[in-house]
Amino acid sequence: MATDRRLAALLLALVAAVAAPASAQAPALDSLARRLMSIPAPLGYESVMADSIAALLRGNGNVSRDRAGNVLLSLGSGSPARLIACPLDEPGWVVGGVRDDGYLTIRRLAGSMARDADERLEGQRITLVGSKGPVPGVVGVRSIHLTRGRSGSGGPFTVDNAYVDVGASSADEARALGVDVTTPLVLDKRPHAYGEGLLAAPEAGTRAACAALVRAASGARVRGSATVAFVVEQRLSARGLRTILNQRGPFADVVVLGAADSITSEVAVDSIRTGASSRAARWRVRVRHRGTPVETVSLTDTRALEVRLERWLAGGAP
Residues 256 and 300 in one domain: yes
Q: How many domains does the chain have?
A: 2
Task: Give the three-class secondary structure for 85.
Answer: strand
Residues 85 and 168 in one domain: no
What residue ranges of the chain have pLDDT lower than 50? 1-24, 152, 277
The pLDDT, as a whole number, for residue 170 is 97
Domain contains 318: no
Residues 108 and 77 in one domain: no
Residues 39 and 174 in one domain: no
The pLDDT, as a whole number, for residue 135 is 96
CATH number of the domain bearing residue 102: 2.40.30.40
Domain contains 137: yes
Residues 269 and 305 in one domain: yes
Range of the domain at 150: 93-187
The pLDDT, as a whole number, for residue 115 is 78
**For the purposes of burial, counting CB atoms within 10 Å of the CB of 248, is it exposed (0-12), middle (13-18) or buried (19 or more)?**
middle
SS3 labels along 274-288? CCCCCEEEEEEEEEE
pLDDT in tens, 1-47: 444 444 344 333 333 333 334 344 678 999 999 999 999 999 999 99
Residues 97 and 85 in one domain: no
The pLDDT, as a whole number, for residue 269 is 67
What are the start-end ranges of the H helices in 224-268? 239-248
CB burial readout 152-190, b (16+ within 10 A) else e? eeeeebbbbbbbbebebeebeebbebebbeebbbbbbbe
Domain contains 196: no
Question: How many C-beta atoms lie closer than 10 Å to residue 272's C-beta?
Answer: 14
The pLDDT, as a whole number, for residue 167 is 96
The pLDDT, as a whole number, for residue 122 is 87
Count of all residues that appear for the chain in the document: 318
Residues 208 and 85 in one domain: yes
Residues 30 and 163 in one domain: no
